[in-house]
Amino acid sequence: MATPFNLPALGENIDAGTVVGILVEVGDRVEENQPVLEIETDKANLEVPSGFSGVVTEILVENGATADVGAPVLMYEDAGSETAAGTETDGQAEAEAPVAEARETVADTPSSTVSDGKADAGGEADSSTQAPPETGAPPAAEAGPAEEPAPPTPTSPTIPPAPAVSSGALVPAAPSVRRFAREIGLDVGQVPGTGPAGRISVEDVKSHSRQLSAGRGATSGPAPSAPLPDFSKWGPVETEPMSNLRRAAAEHLSAAWTNIPHVTYGDKADVTDMEALRKQFGPAAEAAGGKLTMTAIALKIVTAALKRFPRFNASVDMASHEIIYKKYYHVGVAVDTDRGLVVPVIRDVDRKNMIELSIELAEIAARARDRKLSPDDMQGSTFTISNLGGFGGTFFAPIVNAPDVAILGLARSRMEQVYIDGAFQPRLMLPLMISYDHRLIDGADGARFMQWLVQAFEEPFLLSLEG
């Protein structure tokens, strides 16, 4: 008798995903925990393992379709059953009933596709580390998405004032819309929907937020996006739907940019001596399976700075007017992939040495490129690093990856003439940029934090002395 296999939980706050790969066919014998589907969520691409051993009798989803958590995605029969072995029995007719029932369930399951509301996008591609840092860390990119921000990854964005929880009734809104509402502190169940059957879009959430703000006497929020002209009037165009990951990044970065008053402060560090040490000890990291990149070094330096300046390792809760200081050090590293920016998190950086960090950085960047990250890999950051050194450039202003309150950007280091002791000398200079949330961090705080970073890059002994 055929049994439905329902889509299992994909991660915290993930209610659905897009089917991007069907890894089995009808008639295939499947072992327990064997991958059967590849699902794209707004945080990562995931392989869905089977929770059974048996023979696939029917596939209930198609590539490109949205599958809801808990809904049947395929039918199977136990490997030991006569039917699975190919023997016809009277029970086969009965097996068709659950199949039809499963089909009805799929048809009746409310769609979790993305709403028609458009979200403002933003973000840059990182380089060497977050992908690979300037010298070859795994490719990375600027941060803002996905982290989890709220739930956020990819990449949570304004600092979610206490997560809003709906009454429990089924809300006709896509997961990305629910997440956006949580991130700005709204209960999506209280938002009037203007779409078909009352479906709630991102624009509905924004409009509701503006109405609430106006009712409190606050200034209204950002105006809704203006309709785009018909570009085909001027020439040929091609339209492509945004992936779940790109859509999530757009919404996350838009919310972060809208709700966080950003300040970016830049300086340069003389890394001539650090580069010599990196080359000297790089072979030891490579022998252990890692790569001693400038991003790996930055992980250690940043964590030491966070201990000295705890406000940079905090979050702002505007709903309760509190500052949340974290006593752990999980650093997100923006990674550039062929499907967009992701921000996996290196956990407990303060407890790991440089070689361990170089190995973990290389591994997690490879998993990001191979679409092997889980939602948990991109949640829980306390600070973020974005390295564009692999792409060049001298300056950029990274967007804070909420609910973090700061992000460090690295550009490409270059040899420059620096005036030292009455003469110009060639020195390797690394541009550094720190963007921070001005609601919590003042300009003088940002300058002190940056100057400590610069000194640590220039005088590695400082890490041993104060780190």
Give the catalytic positions in this structure: 438
**Is-contact 257 399, C-beta < 8 A?**
yes
Q: Looking at beta carbons, which pairs linking 29-33 to residues 24 or more positions away fall under 8 Å? A: 29/54, 29/55, 29/79, 30/54, 30/55, 30/56, 30/76
How far apart are alpha carbons 467 and 465 in whole angstroms?
6
**To 5 degrees, how large is the angle CA 347–CA 352–CA 356?**
100
Helices and strands (H, E) in the chain, number of each type = 9, 19
**Is-contact 396 124, C-beta < 8 A?**
yes
Tokens for 402, please give them.
């909420």
How is 389-449 classified by DSSP, letter by letter? GGG--S---PPP-TTSSEEEEE---EEEEEEETTEEEEEEEEEEEEEEETTT--HHHHHHH
Name residues whose C-beta falls within 8 Å of residue 188's C-beta, 6 or more positions apart in sequence.
164, 166, 171, 173, 177, 178, 181, 182, 200, 205
3-class SS of residue 30: strand
How far apart are alpha carbons 320 and 322 in whole angstroms?
5
How far apart are alpha carbons 405 and 150 in whole angstroms?
13
Side chain identity at residue 280, one-letter code: Q
- Cα–Cα nearest to 401, from 308, 322, 305, 334: 334
Side chain identity at residue 28, one-letter code: D
**Is-contact 179 378, C-beta < 8 A?**
no
**Is-contact 400 406, C-beta < 8 A?**
yes
User: How many other CB atoms sit within 10 Å of the CB of residue 169?
Assistant: 6
**To 5 degrees, how large is the angle CA 10–CA 15–CA 18?**
75
